[in-house]
């Protein structure tokens, strides 16, 4: 397939102002110029009249962004509830937030945000009982005046003398790494650039990291990233002197990441062709002398790719522990000897069970803490390194757990438990006797956690599949079909939507809103079979699941189409875009955020090629045939009335480039009824796909989004 591209024609922007059309106000939206760009796909000519918007640094596109933002802000600023929401969000955001502590060397490290700080601060203390007197180790708020530089990664050398710190600017996936002297907290000379999807993995007096070549100027956030490489950096040297450890000149579209076992016995490399499926290569460092440790050959294939998933958990002497879905859709933990790595020689440590084995960490080098997922809620079990069951770990209720492992000789590990209505509970678990204690005294919040309730329901999708959904609202809610309701979903990439606490969601619930989260196929809630049921040519199942969730909420009288909004981000933005174009009459509001909306060209930008294992690619005829049927950009019809839509994106999003949202907005704004159901796009500046966004921007985002939703549903 060779795309054909022709440019012609201009349509000027209109002013953004309302006019009266008999009895209703009509928003005059910006009209974007169109050209005759098109591609030829296997005999089908597909128009792409807004392709010029893909060039996000061009002066014309920058002017387009300025015009669109002006129009959007004029509209949002006229919504009365927006300022009230912003004030309330600021009030309830203002409480101290902690992460679970992790021991590194003699210190316990934890993150804390006093309340409204743009970025959480990293503290350390020698005594967990004396955390209130902890000292600041790294304060990211000092990296920039507006809080748009965030901590992206942190790793300590084996002797705990140094810490490699990764930072991200304006939410970009591009990272820079510098090194701190742990004792003095002083910055060393290191400046490692063009790192992406990688932290630092220490070995000896240096570390491994993955990077791409420097992109062409002006194309930092849009050019396709190819030929990732792994380098080894020696402390005190320049990046130009770093040793190339691993590359693959035959496969430009692969990811490579290095790892080291806790005892520094094994160096392993995970290789993947996308977001699903990988292989593992390993090197036994014990058979090399010190001068040979950093070499670029002699890796052994441990786990063959790319049909299954493999996560190295650690090692037990000569054997490597791997969590995998090979012959186990709900995952198992196996032990593999690198000298005999064939699957027939693997031994089960934790066999596949009824429920998903979601994660495993190692404590004290001889204990395993396994997290299982039961109907999208966490369970913890304690095993020894050989897989012998020791005990269940009692949790506070239905929620999500994140656990930190410990080094050799350390018996106390920490975990954090969160639910939909309680911000978080941090516990310390003793591996030796199973006892648990709370870390920190009980905290007071600027909101009433007892005012809300959560329930889990199960409904049937179009094909009869049973789908779980969480529903939150104020206690005493009347099921009268008039409640403003927001339905959220994701449904992809093996990602599970488990209970989480959201301050912005709480503000919506306080306003009488109902919030629902559907656990759609394509996610990881029930293992790899559940994931595969919503990927590639089965992606329509995900949209059917979401539409069925909306119909269930209406059928059960929680809400009606006039009061129902849908929201999702990234792959969830695709979900919203697909559902609002397939069933526009079902929803009052649609909020597609940083969405993948052009399914024919997504793989041509940054690391979009990595999603082809999930979606398929328009480069292949059979995959083009199903992509074109649901691609949101290509399913917009001129004569259809679409829901009131607020498209949300950001100028530094180099994960899902903003061109997706730009083209989707321009196309929707050209439809017949766009002014009556406003089609707006909100383009954040100095922000990316979402990670590391400062508190001030999070509050602005939430006030705009929930203000828009309530205005059109309440």
Query: Does residue 12 have a pLDDT over 70?
Result: no
Residues of the chain above pLDDT 90, percent: 86
Task: Name residues whose C-beta falls within 8 Å of residue 464's C-beta, 6 or more positions apart in sequence.
Answer: none
Three-state secondary structure of 324-375: ECCCCCCCEEEEECCCCCCHHHCEEEECCCCCEEEEEEEECCCEEEEEEEEC
**Helix, strand, coil share (%) of the chain residues, nearest 5:** 25, 35, 45
pLDDT the model gives residue 651: 86
Catalytic site positions:
570, 689
pLDDT the model gives residue 17: 52
pLDDT the model gives residue 685: 86
pLDDT the model gives residue 606: 92
Whole-prediction pTM: 0.93
CA-based torsion, 170, 173, 178, 183: positive or negative: positive
DSSP string across 676-688? TS-EEEEEESS--
Split at pLDDT 50, 70, 90, the class of 687 is confident
pLDDT the model gives residue 10: 30
Q: Return the SS3 of 138.
A: strand
List the end-to-end C-alpha distance of the chain, in Å, as a whole number.
49
What Cα–Cα distance (Å) separates residue 638 from each residue in 19, 273, 576, 605, 672?
21, 38, 19, 28, 6
Residues of the chain above pLDDT 70, percent: 95
Query: Does residue 76 have a pLDDT over 60?
Result: yes
Split at pLDDT 50, 70, 90, the class of 291 is very low
pLDDT the model gives residue 216: 85
Split at pLDDT 50, 70, 90, the class of 218 is confident
pLDDT the model gives residue 686: 81
Query: Does residue 21 have a pLDDT over 50?
Result: no
Split at pLDDT 50, 70, 90, the class of 5 is very low
Q: Which residues on neighbouring strands pair with residue 332, listed in sequence order?
A: 324
Split at pLDDT 50, 70, 90, the class of 652 is confident
How does the average pLDDT of the chain come out, rounded?
A: 93
Tell me the two tokens of residue 496: 């599970």
pLDDT the model gives residue 297: 61
Do the beta carbons of residue 569 and residue 690 sit within 8 Å? yes
Helix (H) or strand (E) holding 150: strand 149-156
Write out the CATH class of domain 17-90+447-713: alpha beta
Task: Name residues whose C-beta falls within 8 Å of residue 484's C-beta, 6 or more positions apart in sequence.
Answer: 511, 512, 513, 514, 559, 563, 565, 709, 710, 713, 714
What is the edge-to-edge ordering of all strands in the sheet holding 367-374? 356-363, 367-374, 377-384, 389-393
pLDDT the model gives residue 288: 62
Average pLDDT of span 303-309: 96
pLDDT the model gives residue 552: 98
What Cα–Cα distance (Å) separates residue 120 from each residue in 83, 117, 137, 200, 362?
25, 7, 12, 21, 27
Q: Which residues on neighbouring strands pair with residue 234, listed in sequence order?
A: 206
Do the beta carbons of residue 333 and residue 323 sit within 8 Å? yes
Q: Which of 537, 552, 548, 635 is nearest to 592 (CA)?
A: 635
Tell me the two tokens of residue 341: 């790595």
Tell me the two tokens of residue 680: 């707006």
pLDDT the model gives residue 222: 79
Query: Does residue 13 have a pLDDT over 60?
Result: no
pLDDT the model gives residue 14: 41
pLDDT the model gives residue 439: 95
Q: What is the pLDDT of residues 334-348, one digit of tens each?
A: 999 999 999 999 999
Pairing between β-strand 97-98 and β-strand 319-324 as defined by DSSP bridges: unpaired
Question: CA-CA distance, 714 to 267, in Å (whole number)?
Answer: 57
pLDDT the model gives residue 223: 84
Query: Does residue 3 have a pLDDT over 70?
Result: no
Q: What is the pLDDT of residues 365-403, one digit of tens each?
A: 999 999 999 999 999 999 999 999 999 999 999 999 999
Q: Which of 603, 576, 610, 578 is nearest to 591 (CA)?
A: 576
């Amino acid at each position: 397939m060779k795309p054909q591209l022709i440019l012609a024609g201009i349509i000027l922007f209109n002013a953004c102002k309302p006019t009266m059309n008999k009895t209703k106000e009509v928003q005059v939206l910006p009209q974007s110029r169109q050209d005759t760009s098109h591609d030829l796909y296997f005999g089908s000519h597909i128009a792409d009249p807004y392709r010029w918007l893909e060039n996000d640094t061009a002066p014309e596109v920058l002017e387009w962004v300025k015009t669109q933002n002006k129009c959007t802000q004029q509209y949002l600023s006229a919504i009365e509830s927006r300022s009230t929401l912003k004030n309330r969000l600021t009030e309830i955001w203002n409480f101290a937030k902690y992460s679970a502590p992790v021991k590194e060397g003699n210190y316990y490290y934890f993150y804390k945000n006093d309340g409204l700080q743009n970025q959480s601060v990293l503290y350390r203390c020698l005594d967990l009982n004396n955390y209130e007197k902890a000292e600041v180790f790294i304060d990211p708020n000092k990296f920039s005046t507006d809080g748009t530089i965030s901590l992206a990664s942190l790793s300590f050398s084996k002797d705990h003398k140094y810490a490699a710190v990764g930072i991200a600017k304006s939410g970009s996936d591009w990272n820079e790494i510098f090194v701190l002297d742990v004792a003095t907290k002083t910055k060393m000379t290191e400046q490692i650039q063009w790192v992406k999807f990688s932290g630092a993995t220490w070995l000896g007096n240096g570390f491994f990291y993955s990077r791409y070549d420097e992109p062409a100027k002006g194309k930092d956030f849009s050019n396709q990233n190819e030929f990732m490489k792994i380098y080894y950096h020696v402390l005190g040297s320049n990046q130009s002197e770093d040793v190339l450890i691993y590359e693959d000149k035959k496969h430009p579209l692969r990811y490579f990441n290095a790892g080291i076992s806790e005892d520094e016995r094994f160096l392993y490399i995970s290789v993947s062709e996308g977001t699903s499926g990988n292989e593992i290569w390993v090197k036994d460092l014990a058979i090399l002398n010190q001068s040979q440790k950093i070499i670029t050959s002699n890796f052994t294939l441990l786990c063959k790719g790319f049909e299954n998933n493999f996560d190295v958990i650690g090692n037990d002497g000569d054997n490597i522990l791997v969590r995998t879905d090979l012959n186990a859709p709900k995952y198992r933990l196996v032990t593999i000897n690198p000298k005999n790595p064939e699957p027939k020689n693997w031994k089960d440590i934790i066999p596949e069970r009824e429920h998903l084995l979601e994660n495993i960490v190692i404590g004290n080098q001889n204990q395993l803490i396994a997290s299982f997922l039961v109907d999208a809620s966490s369970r913890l079990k304690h095993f020894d390194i050989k897989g012998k069951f020791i005990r269940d770990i009692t949790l506070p209720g239905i929620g999500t757990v994140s656990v930190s492992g410990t080094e050799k000789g350390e018996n106390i590990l920490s975990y954090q438990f969160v639910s939909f209505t309680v911000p978080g509970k941090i516990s310390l678990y003793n591996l030796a006797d199973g006892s648990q204690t709370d870390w920190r005294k009980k905290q007071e919040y600027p909101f009433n956690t007892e005012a809300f309730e959560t329930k889990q329901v199960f409904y049937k999708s179009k094909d009869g599949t049973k789908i779980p959904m969480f529903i939150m609202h104020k206690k005493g809610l009347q099921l009268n079909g008039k409640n403003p309701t927001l339905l959220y979903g994701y449904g992809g990439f093996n990602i599970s939507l488990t209970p989480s606490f959201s301050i912005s969601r709480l503000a919506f619930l306080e306003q009488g809103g109902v919030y629902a989260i559907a656990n759609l196929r394509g996610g990881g809630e029930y293992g790899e079979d559940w994931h595969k049921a919503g990927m590639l040519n089965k992606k329509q199942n995900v949209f059917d699941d979401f539409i069925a969730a909306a119909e269930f909420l209406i059928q059960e009288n929680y809400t009606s189409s006039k009061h129902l909004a849908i929201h999702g981000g990234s792959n969830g933005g695709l979900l919203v875009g697909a559902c609002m174009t397939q069933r526009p009459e079902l929803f009052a509001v649609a909020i597609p955020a940083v969405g993948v909306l052009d399914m024919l060209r997504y793989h041509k930008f940054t690391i979009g090629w990595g999603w082809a294992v999930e979606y398929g690619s328009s480069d292949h005829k059979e995959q083009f045939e199903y992509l074109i049927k649901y691609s949101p950009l290509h399913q917009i019809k001129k004569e259809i009335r679409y829901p009131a839509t607020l498209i949300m994106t950001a100028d530094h999003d180099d994960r899902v480039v903003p061109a997706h949202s730009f083209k989707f907005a321009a196309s929707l704004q050209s439809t017949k009824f766009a002014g009556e159901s406003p089609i707006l796009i909100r383009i954040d500046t100095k922000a990316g796909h979402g990670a590391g966004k400062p508190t001030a921007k999070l509050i602005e985002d939430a006030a705009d989004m929930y203000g828009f939703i309530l205005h059109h549903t309440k």
